[in-house]
Structure 1
Amino acid sequence: MSVRNLDALFSPRSIAVVGVSTRADNLGAIVLRNLRGGGFAGPVWAVNRRAGEVDGMPVCADVASIPGVPDLAILCTPPATIPRLVDELGRKGTRAAIVISAGLKDPMPDGTGTIEQAMLDAARPWLLRILGPNCIGALVPGIGLNASFAPGNATPGQLAFVTQSGALATAMLDWASTQGIGFSHFISLGDSADVDFGDLLDYLAGDAQTRGILMYVESVKHARKFMSAARAAARNKPVVLVKAGRAEAGARAAASHTGALAGSDAVFDAAVRRSGMVRVDTLEALFDAAETLARPRPWRGERLAILTNGGGAGVLAADALALAGGTLAELAPATLASLDAVLPPNWSRANPVDIIGDAPVERYRDALRILLAAPEADGVLFMHAPTAIVPAAEIAAACLPLAQGAAKPVLASWLGGRSVQGARQAFTAAGLSCYATPEHAVAAWQQVAQYHRNQQALLELPEARPEGLAVDRRAAEEILADALREQRDWLTDEEAMALLAAYGVPVVPTRRVRDAEEAADVARDMGFPVALKVVSRQIQHKSDVGGVALGLASVEEVRKAAVEMRLRVAARSPQAHVSGYTVQRMVRRPRARELIVGIATDPVFGPTVLFGAGGTAVEIRKDRALDLPPLNAALARDLVARTRVAAELAAHRGTAGVHQAALLDTILRVSQIACELPMVAELDINPLLADADGVLALDARVRVRGTAVAGDAHLALRPYPAALEESFASGGGSLALRPIRPEDGARLAAFYASAPAQDLRLRFFHTRREVPRSELARFCQIDYDREMAFIALDGERMVGEVRAICDPDNLQAEFAIHVAAPWQHRGLGRRLLQKMTDYLRARGTGEMVGECLEENAGMLALARSQGLVVAPNADGTVALRRKLAGPG
């Protein structure tokens, strides 16, 4: 990820347009006219190999002839010319280009790769950033920049819109102009050969003029980069997207139940949820999101009150809210009494509040005032259908001051056309969100609610767990290696169970046998009843071909079942080679629920963890939820809660509830498999029996791959880096030094709570009694891809921390350190700072910087002892700096 030189792209001081001619339909000439018409204040140069004049403006013959150095170049020339032009511009000092031209996927004339790759190769030595190719361009209305061939301009605002579709860009631009919605940035990505969603999310997250980000997504190329940037952006401001391509085409080819259930669109949904963004289903809903985000109001909660002069409209709104899983506010007795005093006797006396079609202005105003004051209503949807009683404009004039001054969100839906147009315009001009229908208004409300739910999920602190899950990783890796040596794609049943057992998943005893006699002998030793299952590399779903026999109660039954099974399989799957059987002890747990837990691999986002209802009808029920590993207990609990089968896991009708801790533990262990064993391509535990006594895996399938990447590169989210754990001898004792985990929230809270007030002031630069829970969550749930925090533990008690956050280009990391008072002056601060320095240097960070108060003598002494440059600032703070790239 990189935001380097994006300022030259979106805030240029000078621009060159290459490929301008006098033809009316010339792309370069259109871009030039847009630039000049948009009001860009800096120098603009036109370039064409036929020098001359266009619209009274001189045209340079080539890049070398440009009289200055353009920050930004817009290229509208044939594809084959692009790499040469990029090189010439880079040599001249240009650091950003928008490539409007299409066709760069074609091969170079000399056959040495594609034109696009040659363009990137030409840009790399100069760190020249490229937007496109095959894009419409970019608009930054606040500086008068219209570097595009869009048919219109954008008005200034605080929303950024990023799209992979040029057609959608022009549609959104046209719609926004009619709605009075402005933009901080309006960006067409095109083929995103260089600048992509990850770069733009990082850039826009740090842009003070951007309050919310809208995106139209067709594909994501770099999952980890995208997820890291999205998580960072969504913590700062709303990010709403719509994605094309919802069909689960990849699922049809999957060989396991998990693979069949984990379609790519469901995986994308999981990625959006995990990052804290909000996904909407349609372009219409994205427009609604634009309307809502452009006019934000203070958020108090999800309970919505509906005010209407028409019962039908109110019912439609209430139905839409219920179907979307929203919450209709339940009016308190005090609120009902207040409404009784101002409304006619036949009003609805419930929410929706129907004030009757003959309502005069005063009735609207009084009812709205009461609902805005009602503590049980977190927001109000104000609806009006035109009547002949009172003009809509008079109602708007009376209610507008109340809506504007409200301490909670107010949405409006003025139903109708010409007769309510003035009222709608008045509300819109006053900064209130207006929607054409009740359904649109409710959808917008739910989008905001979903955004705040996602934000709350990001701040949830999972409970502490034991330090790591006990596993035998080496045994599991040997099982996978054996399969690869034998060029097998699938583990045998016995191997699959052994792999799960190595990771601590409870499994039913399973033995592999060669023939009917050996099966009978193993069954006798194992104890009856037993289950018998066929073993064949060509058969994955054994029950489909009669390859499963259950409840075998004697040696004779086992022999007979084995012979009959071989005959059935031969008839139903003649191409399959039967290499033996597996024998399992039958488990009698009549009150157990059948569940599925598994791993599937998405081509973009890598491994996903699946949970849902299991059994033979698993693909028919399709009751499942997905998430991206690594998971913690809170995420595992949420994964379970998002399924319909979750309701069946609680106690009901005399049946005890499922052992929740055991179920969550198994999900976490499967997540650990996904993180630590990249050779596992797919994994099914189906069924996983779950009851009050715990869980038990009855059957499992594991598909392996031989092209697994090293380390954790296969994951979209970087997992906990256990390799960075170590111990530190201090003061006659030993401390554990390790990266922070999400589960460390209670430790971190206790660490800050025990600190003297002066230490907290030195750490945070202001006096504070406690650190809010939201801040604790942010400090614990870090993105290991771009930040790090090491903590020191004396047993279970936290006694020190050091943390650093890197910029997207890894040029600089800002650090902070805090050591508990009893451990100060004992070498812990020096060791923590050295550990962070070593870590940052290993990841290639350019320098580490920090600040402390000038009275913080201990920090200043520590900084000097570790080779940091100390320089006072004018505001009473001291800057700390140390270069890391290279020696020292």
Structure 2
Amino acid sequence: MPTYDTPEQAVRAFLQRLAYQRNQALLLETPPVGGETAPDRAAAQAVIAAALADGRSMLDEAEAKAVLAAYGIAVVPTRQAATPEQVAQAAAGFAPPLALKIRSPDLSHKSDVGGVILDLPTPAAAAEAAAAMRARLAASHPHARLDGFTVQPMHRREGAVELIVGASCDAVFGPTLLFGQGGVAVELIGDRAVGLPPLNRSLAREMMGRTRVDRLLDGFRSRPAVDRAAIERVLVAVSQLVCELPGVMELDINPLLAGADGAVALDARIVVTQAAGPGHARLAIRPYPAEEERWLDWHGEPVLLRPIRPEDEPAHREFFESLSPADIRARFFAAVRPAHDQLARFTQIDYEREMAFVAVRRDADGRTRTLGVARAVSDPDNLVAEFAVVVRSDLKRRGLGRALLTRLVEYCRGRGTGTLFGQTLAGNLAMRRLAESLGFEAGPCADPELIELRLRLAPPR
């Protein structure tokens, strides 16, 4: 029975327990399937590589927006100009009013030095403003380099909310994500929530809910509600960006203008460096390992062997419903039908400690079905990992179990796992023959109804 010196300490302890329970329930939510677009990673990497080759760690605004656009984030069209005269030419194709900003690698926060002018009525006015801006910057910051200007059309949405979405690298946790109320007073307001990538839509929604500005998104009085799904997509896209582009050290979208018809990045700032290793090496939570996907020609039809994903829960439920009672007992040693929380734990795994490969096929009706799964869970030191394999009851003895187990052995060997072992019913001769054909050795268990299958993958450490 815990005891506390003051009521305040007891209340804090209770709220901590409540927050833990809420977080655990959140982790078991099944994220929505689909709806995200594949990014143009090569285009984003080319922009970063060009900046690094030029000796720059700070992307200019147009480059930063190009990286965001490559990941499906809507941005305001922006043109660059080296001189005030070129500003007028660049602005000629935009409908006024116009926004003008400086381009300087030495001044990342342009509004702090008078480097942003809004609501310019004509291209000629934009050129005049650029000349005045250049003279003002030379007087106030004589050592700052001025590479030119950017010009863009003003972008307004009735009832829109200014937000900030960002990312930075923490010394302990690696990349972290930020969401909150944006605008020029973002530091003063301090309304923000921090999360760890990778995000899905459910986690993005929870992150938004930890801010005060979240209450403004539902609309009030004459203001329409904001398109929350668009903001969630931006957060997920930024999460994917920092996971896949290890050279990105800092990222700010401020403001992200969110309204009833979507969200658009008005300004962006990205700091990059030379990547020291693969993207997932710096993350506190390993993202989905897409590099582990393999295609299999299975009896003349393509089947994808890939790591399991949280979105697979509905297909995984259907898969379990396809198993006969005998196959369920052979897998779990009992007659069970997994509930939602068990299925969530099967599909939402820590790829650093566990791996589950599913064989999936797209049927004629367009539905993706799970045909089988092979799973391994390792100890913290990766010395031993316990495995299990199960295939749909109507697809047994067609080589799918062998393909899954072979892929699992290959993966565990590549990770340096010492020993792979599993238990099966003594009467499950098919599983025993399959394992022994792949080099496993069968031995007795403490339970006489079971046998143990063991395969050494690496010398003992």
Q: Which residue of 2 aligns with 1:792?
A: 359
User: 2:21 and 2:123 mapped to 1: Cα distance?
Assistant: 61
Q: Which residue of 2 aligns with 1:687?
A: 255
Deviation at 1:779, TM superposition (A): 1.3
Q: Give the counterpart of 1:464 among 21, 33, 38.
A: 33
Q: Which residue of 1 aligns with 2:423?
A: 851
Structure 2 residue identity aligned to 1:451? Y
Deviation at 1:650, TM superposition (A): 0.8
Deviation at 1:733, TM superposition (A): 1.3
Q: Residues 25-174 of structure 1 correspond to what in structure 2 (within 5 A)?
A: none
Q: What SS class does the counterpart of residue 802 from structure 1 fall into? A: strand
Q: What SS class does the counterpart of residue 578 from structure 1 fall into? A: coil
The answer to whether the 8 A contact 2:100-2:118 is kept is: yes
Q: Residues 190-269 of structure 1 correspond to what in structure 2 (within 5 A)?
A: none
User: 1:448 and 1:525 mapped to 2: Cα distance?
Assistant: 58
Matching of residue 823 in structure 1 with residue 434 in structure 2: no
Q: Which residue of 1 aligns with 2:343?
A: 776
Q: Deviations over 1:12-65 (max 9, x none)?
A: xxxxxxxxxxxxxxxxxxxxxxxxxxxxxxxxxxxxxxxxxxxxxxxxxxxxxx
Matching of residue 611 in structure 1 with residue 175 in structure 2: no
Pair 1:875–1:511, CA change in 2 (3 A) = same
Q: Which residue of 2 aligns with 1:672?
A: 240
User: 1:794 and 1:872 mapped to 2: Cα distance?
Assistant: 37
Q: Deviations over 1:180-229 (max 9, x none)?
A: xxxxxxxxxxxxxxxxxxxxxxxxxxxxxxxxxxxxxxxxxxxxxxxxxx
Q: Give the counterpart of 2:199 among 611, 617, 631.
A: 631
Structure 1 residue identity aligned to 2:315? R
The answer to whether the 8 A contact 1:469-1:669 is kept is: no
Deviation at 1:572, TM superposition (A): 2.5
Range moving further from structure 2, 591-600 or 755-764: 755-764
User: 2:167 and 2:3 mapped to 1: Cα distance?
Assistant: 44
Deviation at 1:707, TM superposition (A): 5.2
Matching of residue 706 in structure 1 with residue 279 in structure 2: no
Q: Give the counterpart of 1:732 among 275, 297, 300.
A: 300
Q: What SS class does the counterpart of residue 526 from structure 1 fall into? A: coil
The answer to whether the 8 A contact 1:597-1:685 is kept is: yes
Q: Which residue of 1 aligns with 2:22?
A: 453
Deviation at 1:861, TM superposition (A): 2.4
Q: Give the counterpart of 2:450 among 877, 881, 886.
A: 877
Q: Which residue of 2 aligns with 1:653?
A: 221
The answer to whether the 8 A contact 1:801-1:819 is kept is: yes
User: 1:707 and 1:878 mapped to 2: Cα distance?
Assistant: 47
Q: Residues 175-574 of structure 1 correspond to what in structure 2 (within 5 A)?
A: 295=1, 433-466=2-35, 469-574=37-142
User: 1:506 and 1:605 mapped to 2: Cα distance?
Assistant: 29
User: 2:264 and 2:283 mapped to 1: Cα distance?
Assistant: 27
Unaligned runs of 5+ in 2: 363-367
Deviation at 1:647, TM superposition (A): 0.6
Structure 2 residue identity aligned to 1:829? G
Q: Which residue of 2 aligns with 1:813?
A: 385
User: 1:812 and 1:702 mapped to 2: Cα distance?
Assistant: 42
User: 1:686 and 1:439 mapped to 2: Cα distance?
Assistant: 38
Q: Deviations over 1:56-105 (max 9, x none)?
A: xxxxxxxxxxxxxxxxxxxxxxxxxxxxxxxxxxxxxxxxxxxxxxxxxx
Q: Which residue of 2 aligns with 1:753?
A: 321
Larger radius of gyration: 1
User: 1:846 and 1:833 mapped to 2: Cα distance?
Assistant: 16
Deviation at 1:434, TM superposition (A): 3.8
User: 1:810 and 1:633 mapped to 2: Cα distance?
Assistant: 31
Q: Give the counterpart of 1:643 among 211, 225, 238.
A: 211
The answer to whether the 8 A contact 1:461-1:743 is kept is: yes
Q: What SS class does the counterpart of residue 855 from structure 1 fall into? A: coil
Structure 2 residue identity aligned to 1:866? L
Q: What SS class does the counterpart of residue 280 from structure 2 fall into? A: coil
Deviation at 1:763, TM superposition (A): 1.1
The answer to whether the 8 A contact 2:426-2:449 is kept is: yes
Q: What SS class does the counterpart of residue 666 from structure 1 fall into? A: helix
User: 2:400 and 2:121 mapped to 1: Cα distance?
Assistant: 65
Matching of residue 600 in structure 1 with residue 168 in structure 2: yes
Structure 2 residue identity aligned to 1:876? E
Deviation at 1:534, TM superposition (A): 0.6
The answer to whether the 8 A contact 2:288-2:351 is kept is: yes
Deviation at 1:475, TM superposition (A): 1.2
The answer to whether the 8 A contact 2:245-2:279 is kept is: no
After superposing on structure 2, the runs of 4+ consecutive aligned residues of structure 1 that deviate more than 6 Å are: none
Structure 2 residue identity aligned to 1:880? L
Q: Give the counterpart of 2:437 among 865, 871, 874.
A: 865
Q: Deviations over 1:670-690 (max 9, x none)?
A: 001111111111000000011
Q: Which residue of 2 aligns with 1:207?
A: none
User: 1:476 and 1:809 mapped to 2: Cα distance?
Assistant: 36
Pair 1:734–1:495, CA change in 2 (3 A) = same
Pair 1:492–1:811, CA change in 2 (3 A) = same
User: 1:837 and 1:537 mapped to 2: Cα distance?
Assistant: 50
TM-score (norm 2): 0.95
The answer to whether the 8 A contact 2:198-2:287 is kept is: yes
Structure 2 residue identity aligned to 1:450? A
User: 2:357 and 2:434 mapped to 1: Cα distance?
Assistant: 17
TM-score (norm 1): 0.50
User: 2:360 and 2:444 mapped to 1: Cα distance?
Assistant: 33
The answer to whether the 8 A contact 1:854-1:872 is kept is: no
Q: Deviations over 1:608-658 (max 9, x none)?
A: 111110011100111111111111111111111111111111132132211
Deviation at 1:663, TM superposition (A): 1.0
Q: Which residue of 2 aligns with 1:103?
A: none
Structure 1 residue identity aligned to 2:449? G
Q: What SS class does the counterpart of residue 713 from structure 1 fall into? A: helix
Q: Which residue of 2 aligns with 1:717?
A: 285
Quote the sequence identity (%).
49
The answer to whether the 8 A contact 1:612-1:625 is kept is: yes
User: 2:125 and 2:42 mapped to 1: Cα distance?
Assistant: 38
Unaligned runs of 5+ in 1: 1-294, 296-432
User: 1:688 and 1:451 mapped to 2: Cα distance?
Assistant: 31
Deviation at 1:567, TM superposition (A): 1.8
The answer to whether the 8 A contact 2:173-2:283 is kept is: yes
The answer to whether the 8 A contact 1:659-1:690 is kept is: yes
Structure 2 residue identity aligned to 1:441? A
User: 1:846 and 1:441 mapped to 2: Cα distance?
Assistant: 46
User: 1:798 and 1:736 mapped to 2: Cα distance?
Assistant: 10
